């Protein structure tokens, strides 16, 4: 197998995506003291636009295998992302593994877009075909009011700890996971610390007698 990942020659022109909100400050948090020094930064959150057929090369072949399961397809910087509804997630991943030989899932990453009403939480799966040396992403969303997704550990066992991490940091609930418990934060930790609405302030951390105060108690750069 070549060390270089196979890329498809995309026929897609540059597209302007939809604006999902505005990020203020470096991290986009609200209700906390900004100690980053970027308190005045204002930047739009823009998603890449939807691609249209033909996508180019093997991109179309993979898309064909997901016929009827896709919400949209995005090609950005030569990489392809297949967006599916959460109800179709397990079937899509099963097809990609069995029919397109995407044997390895590198993990699932949570993302929080609080201004994207009804789709506030995203789960992004990174897949690798070792047979064909190809990489793709599969992405699905949930509303913040109903954070349930089907667990896909039975399809990709590597997702066991990754689903636990997405629950720990973003509050995503993976139905059917064999043991959905926190993996890095203590079991009694309040909230999910990588959400945008999680306060920057925290608890003091001690290093061999030296104390580091929580961010909201440090020197302000505003």
* Global confidence as pTM: 0.80
Torsion of CA 81, 88, 103, 74, to 10 degrees: -10
pLDDT level of residue 86 (50, 70, 90 thresholds) = very high
DSSP-derived secondary structure letter, 49: P
CATH number of 19-215, picked from 1.10.150.20, 3.40.50.2300, 3.30.460.80, 3.40.50.740? 3.30.460.80
Q: In terms of DSSP bridges, do strands 205-207 and 210-212 run parallel, antiparallel, or are they unpaired?
A: antiparallel
Domain assignments of the chain as residue spans, ordered by start: 19-215
Quote the mean pLDDT of the chain. Answer: 86
pLDDT in tens, 66-75: 999 999 999 9
Q: What's residue 11's pLDDT?
A: 57
Percent of the chain clearing pLDDT 90 (strictly above) = 60
pLDDT score at 136: 98
Q: Phi and psi dihedrals of 87, rounded to 5?
A: -70, -20
The answer, yes or no, to whether residue 177 has pLDDT greater than 80, is yes
Residue 30, pLDDT > 80, answer no
Mean pLDDT (whole number) for 28-32: 62
Residue 199 scores a pLDDT above 90: no
Inform me whether the pLDDT recorded for 112 exceeds 90.
Answer: yes
Question: Is pLDDT above 90 for 204?
Answer: no
What is the DSSP pairing of strand 210-212 with strand 104-112? unpaired
Look at residue 38 and tell me whether its pLDDT is greater than 70: yes
The vertex-36 CA angle with 33 and 42, nearest 5°, equals 90
Task: Give kind and range of the element (H or E) at residue 90.
Answer: helix 89-98
Distance (Å, whole) CA 64 – CA 55: 11
Position 23 scores a pLDDT of: 78
Two tokens, residue 43: 């930047």
The residue ranking higher by pLDDT, 130 or 218, is 130
Q: Predicted confidence band at 27 (pLDDT cuts at 50, 70, 90)? A: low
The per-residue pLDDT for 220 is 59
pLDDT band at residue 196 using 50, 70 and 90 as cut-offs: confident
How far apart, in whole angstroms, are the C-alpha atoms of residue 23 and residue 28?
Answer: 5
pLDDT band at 2 (very low <50, low <70, confident <90, very high): low
């Amino acid at each position: 197998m070549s060390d270089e990942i196979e890329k498809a020659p995309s026929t897609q022109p540059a597209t302007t995506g939809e604006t999902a909100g505005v990020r203020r400050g470096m991290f986009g948090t609200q209700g906390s003291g900004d100690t980053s020094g970027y308190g005045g930064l204002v930047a739009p959150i823009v998603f890449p636009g939807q691609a249209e057929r033909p996508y180019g090369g093997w991109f179309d072949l993979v898309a064909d295998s997901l016929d009827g399961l896709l919400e949209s397809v995005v090609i950005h910087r030569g990489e392809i992302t297949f967006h599916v509804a959460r109800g179709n997630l397990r079937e899509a991943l099963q097809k990609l593994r069995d029919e397109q030989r995407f044997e390895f899932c590198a993990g699932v990453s949570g993302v929080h877009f609080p201004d994207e009403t009804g789709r506030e939480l995203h789960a992004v799966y990174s897949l690798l075909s070792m047979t064909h040396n190809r990489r793709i992403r599969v992405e699905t969303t949930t509303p913040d009011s109903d954070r349930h997704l089907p667990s896909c550990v039975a399809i990709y066992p590597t997702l066991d700890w990754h689903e636990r991490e997405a629950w720990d940091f973003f509050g995503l609930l993976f139905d059917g996971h064999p043991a959905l418990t926190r993996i890095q934060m203590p079991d009694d930790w309040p909230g999910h610390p990588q959400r945008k609405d999680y306060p920057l302030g925290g608890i003091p951390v001690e290093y061999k007698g030296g104390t580091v105060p929580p961010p909201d108690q440090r020197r302000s750069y505003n």
